[in-house]
Amino acid sequence: MEQPRVGTDIQFAICGSAGDGTIAAGDIMKRAAALMGFKVIAFDIYPPEIRGFGKCISRIRISDAQTYSLKRHSDVLISLNDAHAIPHVGEVRDFGAVLFEDNSIAELPEGGHISAHIRAAQVPYGFGIREISEKATGLARSRNIAALGYAAGLFNMPPGIFHQIIAEKFAKKPRAVTEDNTRAFDAGVEAAARVFKLDDVSVGRPLSAASGADAVMMTGNGAIARGFLEAGIQAYFGYPITPASSIMERMAAALPREGGRFLQTEDEISAIAATLGAGYAGARAATATSGPGLALMTEMMGLGVMAEVPFVVAVSQRGGPSTGLPTKTEQSDLNLAVYGGSGDAQRIVLAPTNVEGCYRCAGMAFEIAETYQTPVVLLVDLYLSNRFETVIPPRKNIFAPKPRKTPKMGKGEEYQRFRLTESGVSPRSIPGEAGLTHTVTGLEHDEIGHPSDRLHNEMNAKRHHKLLPATHFPGLTTQKRFGDSGKVDVGLLGWGSTFGEILETLYTAQGQDIRVAVMKVVMLSPLPVDEIAAFMDDCTHVLVPELNFEGQFANMISGATGRPVTRLTQTTGAPMLVDDILAELHRLIDSPAPPPTSSHRTAEGVRA
């Protein structure tokens, strides 16, 4: 099946320096488009310098059909700083628009003005951004809003909706700030009305008011925080680290109002220790970190596995190793999330593929952790953490906690906290419950909890086997196939934020009459091996694109199934491009098929 054609599919890129209001302008644009009822996906890039100078880019894709990634080429580039925008002129498609300041107030070196770099196939729109702002407000600081108004006027976007978003954006500022920015916006709209529009894209009429009113613009981190809150989180302990800090910031603002406890700890070890302690005491508890922080948390993660304590850790990956690239995206902490720790310490790892998935996985993570009495890792990355998408949350809270059942003991019966049961899940109590005293230790133990090596093999089996049913947890999509059914030329396996680009590749390839299917895998531990193997059975070639150097997910797949896959790995610090995946897909089609295999590895071992 082909991706449905859309009437509106336009991507804006706003580029400037820190302090130009680049991100603020992009925020207003995406929220206005969402209120109009359009589907929006947006991603902001911040400067890596800790002092806050450098390049900022806000990219916003607006469509009247569901989209899954940003486009390689933008339709419109708005330059608020030519020095930063010039390198991105080549990212504007042929016949796309470049909006820029044409009244420089300082002498520029040769080639210093963006107009010298616009290609013949692109459409230049030069106008006096600074002059428009100064005439409207008496100051130049609303240049970003004047440029935004010009773009909105050029593409016939309704000013009233922008007025509403501007008022909301500056609601906590003095009223004069809202009024000045509204005047600057309207002056930009008026200037654009006098210009003959040459490029061939447009923003269609606003869609139904209901769809826009129901939609919420959320980042992945914002969705995680919302999911935590709706699931009834009771305690959050955190230490700031890019790009996970905004989860902690949201919890600090919201959780105390909900009657919960928030504490910023002195480091990541303290954060995970407090989270584990709260989980042991019966609270729904969570923390969030990035790769370097997770590395420090591995010992306590192992204690959570051994003591069978439920809690949640959200991990937003960035470029590594070590301090690495704090403001760049990567998917290189998969091995750490799944395997990090001493001994056989399997835990549940979920990797949502979009912002709505962040919300749903975060909301269900506590129930999953409590069901299987284990830590749950929610694995995202900077791209997904900071990416904005339009989401329509359920009108009714679907994550409300269920009452916990206290174990019932017969007269004279000794409570066995770690009893070996058929399911592997033991009767759980929390401290203070009468008659349910027990021992908890990081040492291997018997069923009562006393340190002992007598049942080590049985306890290892218990801790692993109890997690296997999680691959079919009710209400959670742990894996899903898209595209052509039956035998296909190429199958793509994806996880995390890269799956959006994989799905866009699918639709493009189907439009080229290629038989192709894709599978997203949300549960990375335990891995849904049988479903993945069945998908691979239908594929002449299997391609695994991911943002790490080693092909960590590809290695997991090959190890679990005993079958070869083709790796497409990148560590550019940026999201993968659809064109790169598509090029590799075409290369595979022209390659000979790999030799057939006769077995695959299941959770229990190798199946013939």
- The pLDDT score that the predictor gives to residue 48 is 66
Amino acid 215: pLDDT: 75
Share of residues in the chain with pLDDT > 70 (%): 93
Q: Of the ranges 96-105, 141-150, 179-188, 350-359, which one carries the lowest mean pLDDT score?
A: 96-105
Question: What pLDDT, on the 0 to 100 scale, is given for residue 7?
Answer: 80
* pLDDT of res. 2: 37
Q: Write the DSSP string, 510-550.
A: HTTT--EEEEEE-EEES--HHHHHHHHHTEEEEEEEESSSS
| Per-residue confidence (pLDDT) for residue 607, from 0 to 100 | 36
% of the chain beyond a pLDDT of 90: 82
Look at residue 106 in the predicted model and tell me its pLDDT.
66
CA neighbours closer than 13 Å in the CB half-sphere of residue 574? 14
- Whether the pLDDT of residue 500 is over 60: the answer is yes
Helices (H), 170-208: 175-193
In the predicted model, what is the mean pLDDT of residues 85-97? 95
Give the pLDDT confidence of 544-554 residue by residue, as tens digits: 999 999 999 99
Q: Which residues contact 347 (CB under 8 A, 6 or more apart)?
A: 301, 304, 305, 338, 374, 375, 376, 377, 467, 525
What DSSP character marks residue 406? P
Tell me how far apart the alpha carbons of residues 111 and 290 are, in angstroms, rounded to a whole number: 41
Mean pLDDT of 385-403: 88
In the chain, the domains with their CATH numbers are 9-214 (3.40.920.10), 217-391 (3.40.50.970), 479-607 (3.40.50.920)
The pTM of the full predicted model, rounded to 2 decimals, is 0.91
- With cut-offs at 50, 70 and 90, classify the pLDDT of residue 393: confident
pLDDT one-digit tens code per residue, 445-478: 999 999 999 999 999 999 999 999 999 999 999 9
Distances (CA, A) of 120 to 181, 343, 417: 34, 62, 74
Report residue 604's pLDDT band, with 50, 70 and 90 as the boundaries.
Answer: very low
Q: Average pLDDT in the 434-446 region? A: 93
pLDDT at position 112? 82
pLDDT in tens, 218-227: 999 999 999 9
**Higher-confidence position of 322 and 411:** 322
In this predicted structure, what is the pLDDT of residue 4? 42
What span, in angstroms and rounded, lies between the C-alpha atoms of 479 and 30?
30
Instruction: Say whether pLDDT at 211 is over 70.
Output: no
- pLDDT of 421 over the 90 cut: yes
pLDDT band at 51 (very low <50, low <70, confident <90, very high): low
Confidence check: pLDDT of 5 > 60: no
pLDDT band at 12 (very low <50, low <70, confident <90, very high): very high
End-to-end alpha carbon distance in the chain: 34
Exposed/middle/buried for 587, CB within 10 Å: 0-12, 13-18, 19+? middle
> d(Cα 316, Cα 247) in Å, to the nearest integer?
10
Average pLDDT over residues 499-505: 97
Q: What pLDDT, on the 0 to 100 scale, is given for residue 210?
A: 45
Q: Are 345 and 305 in contact (CB under 8 A)?
A: yes
Nearest to 144 by CA among 252, 26, 304, 272: 26
Provide mean pLDDT across the span 231-238. 97
- The order of strands in the sheet holding 348-350 is 261-264, 235-238, 285-289, 311-317, 375-381, 348-350, 523-525
On average, the pLDDT of the chain sits at 92
Total residues belonging to the chain? 608
C-alpha separations of 232 from 105, 225, 259, 545, 551 in Å: 55, 11, 10, 36, 36
